[in-house]
Structure 1
Amino acid sequence: MSIEIGEQDPGSAPFLGRTVLRPRQQVEDALREAVLSGQLRVGERLPAETELARQFSVSRPTVREALSALETQGLIRKVPGAGGGSFVQTVDHHALGEVIQDSMHTLVRLGSISAIEVAMVRQYLEVPSAALAATNRTEADVAELRSIIDAQKACTVDDPRVPELDVRFHTAIARMSGNRVLASLIFALHRESEPVSYLEMSPDLGRETVLQHQRIVKAIAGSDCAAAEEAITEHLTYLREHMKVATQR
């Protein structure tokens, strides 16, 4: 193909096009950048919806949609009431875990994934986490785990503290791994595959769970990585098998 004099080769023309964003997306992107760049600090309250609408020259519903998207992403939190508003959320591994858990909860409720699948992935992550905890733990960490077990021993199977104590035990080990991303993922996975929500709790199951927790703590306290991996693998496999039976019913 020949190009006449005065014509421009399309291949040599500068590319100037870019995606034209909707107003809501523009507001969302601008506010997200303000949070991530530090222009809006952690805990700081954003301007009111009316003020943001004025600044961006958009409608209040547009601003409201953008704020809802940022809340879903864990970047801001909305506080109701006279002294409320939209505040910059703490953007750390705890917030990451909560966002992931919310998303997984929706998928489990919709039937897109099963709690058993979540429990299996949790095991893949908790096993190396226990080994890292055995390497990195402090005496204060060991004391914390032992205090949780003491509280578990004092509980009956129908005690409302049982689920929260179990969460505390497993998330404490994840935190001791020293890897905050790993701790965030384990927090989310544990919250969504919490065995107490699926199991028919019995005194025998409760006692065996505490005994397994004690073996895990003994290995971590002794800085025995292999024993910690073995103990937590036994524990999570035991719970997952009971979950299978309960969910099939």
Structure 2
Amino acid sequence: MYDNVVTEGIGKQIANQLRQAILDGRLRANERLPTEAELAERFAVSRPTIREALKHLAAQNLIRSRRGASGGTFVKEPSDAEAQQSLTSAMTLLVSMGKFSSQEIDEARLELERLCCRLAIKRVQKEQLDAMAAEVELQRSDIDDQDFCASDVRFHRALVDATGNAVLQYLMCAVIEALQPLSNMIVFRFRERDRIVAQHQRILEAMKSSDEAAALDALDDQLSYLREQYVKAQEWRAEHRKIDKKE
């Protein structure tokens, strides 16, 4: 089932082999792993080395331990929230490292959210419409920038939820929960709140009337507008860096 390991860093190598077995489906969710003694015999290493390997897997949230007669170490089945948080954290890290250009981010968000919009038009439920309407009302009130940005995220989250597609809901976590907040942090000084609210209202009304063309038009308008503000924000930041260097 596993390859032999003979070089240094054995604990980590064993962890990698067990991790690959989990990813390949050879070890399934909630399946009990062999005991430390059994694993030590299989890999021809000491039990402390096996414990080191298991610590690596636990740190990756891949296994869990249970005490008692029916206890042991089991492959962990991640919850939806844990899986989404993992994806969001990875995307946030990659963006902070400059792995994606702003053009790539804009293009991905536009195409993915347009797809969500088309599905949501056909499947939206009253609870999602109510959630979107509540966010629009909140955005019209006197809230600070942080709360406005959070409401913006929740509005688009409701739109994605309206697709009724679990795969899209999972994938869009990286867009809605990671990329969108990062973009908001950059453009909030330059965007006009009233314009964002009006665009959200147009999307909401189109969803209510099942008008796909109007919904896509409003969504395109918003993302195009935000792209323009993003460019302005970047130019402003570049100019102020020059000024700071001179001083």
Q: What TM-score comes out, normalization by structure 1 length?
A: 0.71
Structure with greater helix percent: 2
Give yes or no for contact 2:128–2:162 (8 Å, CA) kept in 1: yes
1:23 counterpart letter in structure 2: I
**Distance in 2 between the 1:77 and 1:228 partners?**
45
- Structure 1: give runs of 5+ residues left out of the alignment: 1-17, 41-46, 79-84
Alignment of 1:38-77 (within 5 A): 38-39=30-31, 53-54=36-37, 56-57=39-40, 58=47, 59=49, 60-68=51-59, 70-71=60-61, 75=62
| Post-superposition offset of 1:155 | 3.6
Per-residue deviation, 1:201: 2.7
Equivalent in the alignment of 2:218: 231
Q: How does 1:191-210 map to 2 (within 5 A)?
A: 191-194=177-180, 195-201=183-189, 205-210=192-197
Over the aligned positions, Cα root-mean-square deviation in angstroms equals 3.1
Say if 2:124 and 2:207, in contact at 8 Å, map to a contact too.
yes
The answer to whether structure 1 residue 139 and structure 2 residue 126 are counterparts is yes
What fraction of aligned residue pairs are identical, expressed as a percent?
25
Partner of 2:19: 28
Write the distance in 2 (CA, Å) between the matches of 1:38 and 1:177. Answer: 30
Question: Are 2:164 and 1:178 aligned?
Answer: yes
Identify the residue that residue 127 of structure 1 maps to in structure 2. 114
Say whether the 8 Å CA contact 2:117–2:159 is kept in structure 1. yes
- Displacement of 1:137 in angstroms is 1.0
Kept in 1, the 8 Å contact 2:92–2:179? The answer is no
Partner of 1:88: 76
> C-alpha displacement at 1:55, in angstroms?
5.2
For 1:91 and 1:147, locate their aligned partners in 2 and report how far apart those are by CA, in whole Å: 28
Partner amino acid, structure 2, of 1:197: M
Matches of residues 100-179 of structure 1 in structure 2 within 5 Å?
A: 100-156=87-143, 158-179=144-165
Question: Aligned to 2:106, what secondary structure does the other structure show?
Answer: helix
Task: State the structure with more CA Rg.
Answer: 1
Supply the distance in 1 between the matched residues of 2:151 and 2:120 (Cα, whole angstroms): 18
C-alpha deviation, 1:53, in angstroms: 4.3
Partner of 1:222: 209
For 1:151 and 1:76, how far apart are their aligned partners in 2?
42
Cα distance 1:150–1:167, how it changes in 2: closer, same or farther (>3 A)? same
CA distance in 2, matches of 1:137, 1:149: 17
What is the letter of the counterpart of residue 242 of structure 1? Q
Q: Give, in whole Å, the separation in 2 of the partners of 1:247 and 1:99.
A: 29
Which secondary structure does the structure 2 equivalent of 1:39 belong to?
A: coil
Tell me, in whole angstroms, the C-alpha distance in 1 between the residues paired with 2:205 and 2:186. 27
Structure 1 210/100 Cα, relative in aligned 2: closer, same or farther at 3 Å? same
- Indicate if the aligned counterparts of 2:28 and 2:75 stay in contact, CA closer than 8 A: no
- Say whether residues 1:244 and 2:231 are aligned partners: yes
Letter in 1 for 2:156: H
Q: CA deviation at 1:91?
A: 4.3
Relative to 1, partners in 2 of residues 1:188 and 1:52: Cα closer, same or farther, differing over 3 Å?
Answer: farther
What amino acid is aligned across from residue 203 of structure 2 in structure 1?
I
**TM-score, length basis structure 2:** 0.72
Q: Deviations over 1:117-174 (max 9, x none)?
A: 2232011110121121111112222112101111111243x34322221111111101
Q: Gapped runs of 5+ residues in structure 2?
A: 6-12, 41-46, 66-72, 238-247
CA distance in 2, matches of 1:37, 1:200: 43
Q: Which string of whole-angstrom CA distances, capped at 9 and with x for unpartnered residues, describes residues 38-85 of structure 1?
A: 436xxxxxx9xxx964553242322212223x33xxx5689xxxxxx9
Rounded to whole Å, the distance in 2 between the matches of 1:219 and 1:128 is 15
3-state secondary structure, aligned to 1:111: coil
